[in-house]
């Protein structure tokens, strides 16, 4: 390694650049400089690869600079939905956001997703979010005897709800919604997406129970069509459209 | 191995409402919005872009317009619809932002009172309007109209 340090860049070598990460932190127990539960910003200067994602930068901090930094991640490949955070004021998955796409010349801000109680640093309490999801009963509801084999459906019937099957429950949409920020009682876009996935599934028979739940005063009618959810979804789900389809079903009585 | 025992969820949504109120409110906001576009833009067009534009608006101009039942009904509909639409919109915002029951109730009572007051006062003005009050300087009046009415 030392022998090649002065040599011109290797073919195929990855470029590096300097980047500043501004992370919003909070420690419920407090530390030397900050009281319990106090929110503060901390800057980290890092040398990152041109191929690095925000998650790699957070790993670099946690593993090499400050082991007390807390954040969630699991798959690191945009599948599990555990690392949604507010990066440069937009909700995204840290594992699916390249640093070079964020203008690394300026400090990159990383905050916890908004509207849910912060437990520590970038970790929020997801329970209110999951509670809404549970309330719309996200499981197949049927009557009659269980068939011997799979419940088949036509490709057209499947297409009807294909988009909303992509949800990974990362909460990026719900915590991007201005109505959810001001009124935490609102079910939020994700619960409506989760309900849409079953309401428009030809094999499911619980659609009217779910629609009735979403007809609540904390339900779909709280949506003001802000489109923040659609913009935030890392899976590209057309969230606002799904919400409109649920409203339409309630207004026309047709699923 | 045993499955973990499930605890009751820590967060439970308060008071379910199984009525259709929010659905009708949503439909009303859109229906009234469409009607308001026609009412408001025609209103602005007639008042500001025809004749002498903004300079023509004075007591005599209003008297001339309200001599026709069409404009009386027009303005009344605009008043009532805009107030109920705006009032309902403010109700949505109160539901969003007011955290305590006390604050929500207080703001909604204040809102309902002001909406009612403005609708009542506005309607009174439209229906009890006198285009030619006694003893007014004729220069301020709609002379043509008042002569037709035999009041001048
Ligand atoms: C040009 C005519 C108008 C149209 C087309 C229109 C349309 C709408 C629509 C569709 C909504 C519902 C938004 C949603 O729930 O997503 C709304 C909300 C609202 N409107 Fe109007 N409106 C008009 C005039 C007015 C007027 C004259 C007022 C005031 C007197 C007003 C006050 C409000 C308020 C306070 C809200 C609630 C805002 C919110 O929910 O965040 N609007 N309007
Ligand atoms: S870590 Fe699994 S989605 Fe990002």
Nearest beta carbon to residue B13 from set A135, A182, A215: A135
Ranges of each domain in chain A: 2-124, 127-252
pLDDT at B69 over 50: yes
Distance, CA B5 to ligand 2 centroid (Å)? 28
Our CA-based measurement puts residue A116 at a distance from the nearest CA of chain B, in whole angstroms, of 12
Which helix or strand (DSSP H or E) is residue A19 part of? strand A16-26
- Name the residue facing B14 among A185, A215, A221 (closest C-beta): A185
**Model pLDDT, residue B114:** 98
Q: Does B10 have pLDDT greater than 70?
A: no
Q: What is the dihedral of CA A82, A210, A198, A93, to 10 degrees?
A: -20
Q: Is residue B116 part of a domain?
A: yes
Instruction: Say if the Cβ atoms of A131 and B11 lie within 8 Å.
Output: yes
pLDDT, position B39: 97
Q: What pLDDT shows up at residue B6?
A: 60
What residues have CB less than 8 Å from B77, skipping those under 6 apart? Answer: B35, B39
Q: B59: domain CATH number?
A: 1.20.1300.10
Task: Give the tens place of pLDDT for each residue, A98-153.
Answer: 999 999 899 999 999 999 999 999 999 999 999 999 999 999 999 989 999 999 99
- pLDDT higher than threshold 90 for residue B135: no
| Inter-CA distances, A163 with A168, A175, A193, Å | 12, 20, 9
Q: Which of B22, B25, B33 to mutate to test the pocket of ligand 1 (most atoms within 8 A of CB)?
A: B33
Domain count across chain B: 1
Q: Closest ligand 2 atom, CA of A93?
A: 4
Q: What is the per-residue pLDDT across B90-112, written as a single tens digit (0 to 9) for each?
A: 999 999 999 899 999 999 999 99
Percent of chain A with pLDDT over 70: 96
Q: Does domain A2-124 fall into CATH 3.20.20.70? A: no
Let me know if residue B72 belongs to a domain.
yes
Q: Are A78 and A95 in contact (CB under 8 A)?
A: yes
Residue B10 lies in a domain: no
CATH topology of domain A127-252: Fumarate Reductase Iron-sulfur Protein; Chain B, domain 2 (1.10.1060)
Average pLDDT over residues A58-64: 97
pLDDT in tens, B38-58: 999 999 999 999 888 888 898
User: Residue B123 falls within a domain, yes or no?
Assistant: yes
Which residue range(s) make up the domain with B133? 16-148
Per-residue model confidence as pLDDT tens digits over A111-122: 999 999 999 999
pLDDT at A6: 55
| Whole-number Å distance between alpha carbons of A183 and A87 | 23
Provide mean pLDDT across the span A186-208: 96
Over chain B, what is the mean pLDDT? 89
Residue predicted with more confidence, B53 or B33: B33
Looking at residue A11, its pLDDT comes to 77
Among candidate residues A254, A251, A189, the one with its CA nearest the CA of residue A222: A189
Quick check: B75 pLDDT over 90? yes
User: Ligand 1: which residues within 6 Å by Cβ?
Assistant: A 224-225; B 29-30, 33, 36-37, 40, 82, 85-86, 89-90, 92-93
Three-state DSSP state, B83: helix
Q: Please work out, in degrees rounded to the nearest 5, the angle formed at the alpha carbon of residue A30 by the alpha carbons of A29 and A31.
A: 125
Chain A residues whose beta carbon lies within 8 Å of the beta carbon of residue B96: 179, 182-183, 222
| B112 is a domain residue | yes
- Alpha carbons A128 and A113: distance in angstroms, whole number: 13
Q: How high is the ipTM of this complex?
A: 0.84
B19 band by pLDDT with thresholds 50, 70 and 90: confident
Local confidence band at A13 (pLDDT 50, 70, 90 cut-offs): confident
Q: pLDDT class for A1, splitting at 50, 70, 90?
A: very low
Domain membership of residue B1 (yes or no) is no
The predicted structure's pLDDT at residue B16: 59
Q: Which residue has the higher pLDDT, B7 or A1?
A: B7
In a domain, B7, yes or no: no
CB–CB contact B26 A128 (8 Å): no
**φ and ψ of A211, to 5 deg:** -60, -40
For residues A126 and A41, the answer to whether their CB atoms sit within 8 Å is no
Cα–Cα nearest to A168, from A115, A95, A225, A220: A95
Please give the pLDDT value at position B139. 85
């Amino acid at each position: 390694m030392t022998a090649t340090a002065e040599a011109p860049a290797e073919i195929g070598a990855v470029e590096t650049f300097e980047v500043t990460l501004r992370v919003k932190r909070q420690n419920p127990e407090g530390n030397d400089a900050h009281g319990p539960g106090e929110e503060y910003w901390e800057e980290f200067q890092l040398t990152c690869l041109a191929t690095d994602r925000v998650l790699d930068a957070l790993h670099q901090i946690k593993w090499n600079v400050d082991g007390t930094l807390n954040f969630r991640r699991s798959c690191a490949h945009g599948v599990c939905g555990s690392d949604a955070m507010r990066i440069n004021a937009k909700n995204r998955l840290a594992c699916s956001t390249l640093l070079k796409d964020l203008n690394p010349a300026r400090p990159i801000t990383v905050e916890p997703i908004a509207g849910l109680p912060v437990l520590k640093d970038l970790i929020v309490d997801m329970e209110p979010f999951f509670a809404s999801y549970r309330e719309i009963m996200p499981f197949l509801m049927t009557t009659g005897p269980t068939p011997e084999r799979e419940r088949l459906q036509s490709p057209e019937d499947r297409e009807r709800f294909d988009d909303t099957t992509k949800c990974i429950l990362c909460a990026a949409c719900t915590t991007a919604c201005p109505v959810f920020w001001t009124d935490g009682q609102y079910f939020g876009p994700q619960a409506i997406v989760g309900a849409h996935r079953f309401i428009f599934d030809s094999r499911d028979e619980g659609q009217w129970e779910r629609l009735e739940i979403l007809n609540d005063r904390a339900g779909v009618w709280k949506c003001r069509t802000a489109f923040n959810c659609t913009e935030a979804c890392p899976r590209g789900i057309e969230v606002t459209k799904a919400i409109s389809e649920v409203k339409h079903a309630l207004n026309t009585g047709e699923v | 191995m045993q499955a973990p025992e499930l605890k009751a969820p820590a967060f439970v949504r308060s008071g379910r409402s199984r009525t259709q109120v929010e659905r009708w409110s949503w439909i009303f906001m859109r229906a009234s919005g469409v009607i308001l576009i026609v009412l408001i833009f025609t209103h602005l067009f007639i008042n500001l872009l025809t004749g002498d534009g903004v300079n023509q608006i004075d007591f005599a101009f209003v008297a001339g317009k309200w001599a026709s039942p069409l404009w009386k009904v027009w303005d009344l509909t605009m008043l009532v619809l805009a107030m109920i639409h705006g009032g309902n919109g403010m109700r949505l915002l109160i539901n969003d932002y007011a955290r305590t029951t006390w604050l929500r109730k207080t703001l909604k009572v204040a809102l309902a009172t002001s909406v009612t007051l403005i609708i009542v006062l506005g309607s009174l003005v439209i229906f009890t309007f006198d285009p030619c009050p006694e003893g007014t300087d004729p220069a301020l009046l709609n002379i043509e109209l008042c002569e037709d009415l035999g009041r001048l």
